[in-house]
Structure 1
Amino acid sequence: MYYPNLDLKYRHELKHYVNYHQYFTIRQRLRPLMTQDANANEAGEYLIRSLYFDDINNTALHEKLGGVRDRVKYRIRIYNGEDNIIHFEKKIKMNDVIAKVKESITREMYDEILKGNYEVLNLPHQPLLYEIYHAANNVLLRPKVIVDYVREAYTSKLGNVRITFDKYMKTGLNNHDIFDPHLAMVDAIDHKFFVLEVKYDEYLPDYIKTALQLEGLVRQSNSKYVICRKLGKENSWEDQ
């Protein structure tokens, strides 16, 4: 059981599946109302690739499937396949809100972690990395699956709203190296569907809520991590 840190800043997060027509309609409504993510390329997109970790009991997987309301996930995340920004992240869910804590790591640290050398995280002055170091030693936290997708993001200062469309989700097979240029990938969901995520602080402004019209959309019940774990050939519910 995870006991959440109440001092963190928690946000609301809503997830829905949308087809291409719904995506195009919502995007056209949002563009005059919100600002496109400054990190996007000319097409308004960027690539996210994450390596998710779980413990010897696959706690994160089973807690999500079991509907446990307070839980955490750990992942290493990169952008556009580059190694200039590498974050080790902890995503925390408490009831219906979320928070995220992250620390930067170097490519050298990443390479050592992939080799199984978790001593590089033995850093008491960096609490998250130190926490992961202990989890690696005490509950055998290990890499489990790669999740890869293209993101289109919009932001608004009012309500601190962030709306993203995650497209073309794939997962890596039989390999946990997010920098491997020959990584074998398989589609994780039908590419006719995208994942719409809506994140905000205390409230979602009415004009954005009206543009989204979420009531007519299908809620996404499973996380990207769970979807990709189901597809990974090396993961068989009792693996590692």
Structure 2
Amino acid sequence: MNTKLKYRHELKFQINRHQYFIIRQRLRNLIKLDEHAGKSGEYHIRSLYFDDMDSTALYEKLSGVRDRNKYRIRIYNKSDCTIHFEKKIKLGNYIAKMKEPLTRDMYNSILAGDYEVLNQPDKPFMMELYRQLTQNLLRPKVIVDYVREPYICRNGNVRITFDKELRTGLNAVDIFDPDLSPVLAIDDNLIILEVKYDEYLPEYIRSAIQLDGLIQQSTSKYVMCCKYLKTNSWEDQ
């Protein structure tokens, strides 16, 4: 395990709206909303996921490979104020994340196929991204779009999120496209619950989210959106 990275536990569940309302009410009495949520208590996330010509990231997930990576460009609230190129690392039961900021011009260059903006020898992760795009032919695959309601707890450095309205862009790869109209890629009644923590999960939080009664699922938004696109591409033929 790379000790320079901060690895955390991550649990994922699919819950219905009835479960969501119950769990959310319990959490609100115990922990606080993330300050980034704003007045609405939510914020919008849109990511552009990358994969190689063999769809390695997709098939490794589907095959249950325990150690794997995913690359994505992520923005918040449809704004270009914060753009990150990220690598999500899965190592057994742990996750970690690496990221580098991009400017809008850098993003536009990458989307246009000009990857020299990443060729920055003084930044190892930028160089990794550069090699992935130029040598391993990593390319934009699918847009993943959703609304997140986040809660945080200092004890155990716990972060609990409810991800709603999972959508994907049909055959679109520009996350800033003003004409992008993402479509639902999941049953509207379903919400993705994610629980991330460092060394331990406090018992009062475990009880509040009914952890013992939930069935952990290997939920990947990237896979769900890819499956939706594949299903609908077959229907269109």
Q: With structure 1 as the length reference, what TM-score do the two structures score?
A: 0.94
Q: Distance in 2 between matches of 1:51 and 1:123?
A: 22
Confirm or deny: 8 A CA contact 1:173 1:233 kept in the other structure.
no
The residue number in structure 2 matching 1:129 is: 126
What aligned pairs does 1:211-230 form with structure 2 within 5 A after superposition?
211-230=208-227
Confirm or deny: 8 A CA contact 1:54 1:60 kept in the other structure.
yes
Match of residue 63, structure 1, among 60, 76, 85: 60
What's the C-alpha RMSD, in Å, of the aligned pairs?
Answer: 1.7
Q: Distance in 1 between matches of 2:166 and 2:128?
A: 29
Instruction: Quote how far apart the aligned CAs of 1:217 are.
Output: 2.1
Aligned length: 234
Amino acid at match of 2:110: I
Deviates more, 1:209-218 or 1:57-66: 209-218
Confirm or deny: 8 A CA contact 1:173 1:234 kept in the other structure.
no
Unaligned runs of 5+ in 2: none
Q: Distance in 2 between matches of 1:188 and 1:56?
A: 23
3-state SS of 2:37 partner: coil
Q: Distance in 2 between matches of 1:120 and 1:225?
A: 26
Instruction: Quote how far apart the aligned CAs of 1:233 are.
Output: 5.4
Instruction: Quote how far apart the aligned CAs of 1:221 are.
Output: 2.1
Match of residue 143, structure 1, among 107, 132, 140: 140
1:209 partnered with 2:206: yes
The residue number in structure 1 matching 2:98 is: 101
| Per-residue Cα deviation, 1:45-99 (whole angstroms, up to 9, x for no partner) | 0000000001122111111011100000000000000001001000000001100
The residue number in structure 2 matching 1:75 is: 72
Instruction: Quote how far apart the aligned CAs of 1:235 are.
Output: 9.7
Q: Distance in 1 between matches of 2:146 and 2:84?
A: 17
Amino acid at match of 2:127: Y
Instruction: Quote how far apart the aligned CAs of 1:145 are.
Output: 0.3
3-state SS of 1:85 partner: strand
Instruction: Quote how far apart the aligned CAs of 1:128 are.
Output: 1.4
What aligned pairs does 1:20-39 form with structure 2 within 5 A after superposition?
20-39=17-36
Amino acid at match of 1:113: I
1:168 partnered with 2:151: no
| Per-residue Cα deviation, 1:207-226 (whole angstroms, up to 9, x for no partner) | 11110112222333231001
1:193 partnered with 2:200: no
Deviates more, 1:96-105 or 1:184-193: 184-193
Q: Distance in 2 between matches of 1:235 and 1:179?
A: 23
Amino acid at match of 1:9: K
Runs of 4+ deviating beyond 4 Å: 233-236
Instruction: Quote how far apart the aligned CAs of 1:126 are.
Output: 1.7
1:13 partnered with 2:10: yes
Q: With structure 2 as the length reference, what TM-score do the two structures score?
A: 0.95
The residue number in structure 2 matching 1:47 is: 44
Amino acid at match of 2:183: V
Amino acid at match of 2:170: L
Amino acid at match of 2:194: E
Instruction: Quote how far apart the aligned CAs of 1:163 are.
Output: 0.1
Instruction: Quote how far apart the aligned CAs of 1:173 are.
Output: 0.8
Confirm or deny: 8 A CA contact 2:14 2:219 kept in the other structure.
no
Amino acid at match of 1:165: F
Q: Distance in 2 between matches of 1:59 and 1:6?
A: 25
Q: Distance in 2 between matches of 1:234 and 1:56?
A: 19
| Per-residue Cα deviation, 1:114-159 (whole angstroms, up to 9, x for no partner) | 1011111001112212101001111100100000000000001110
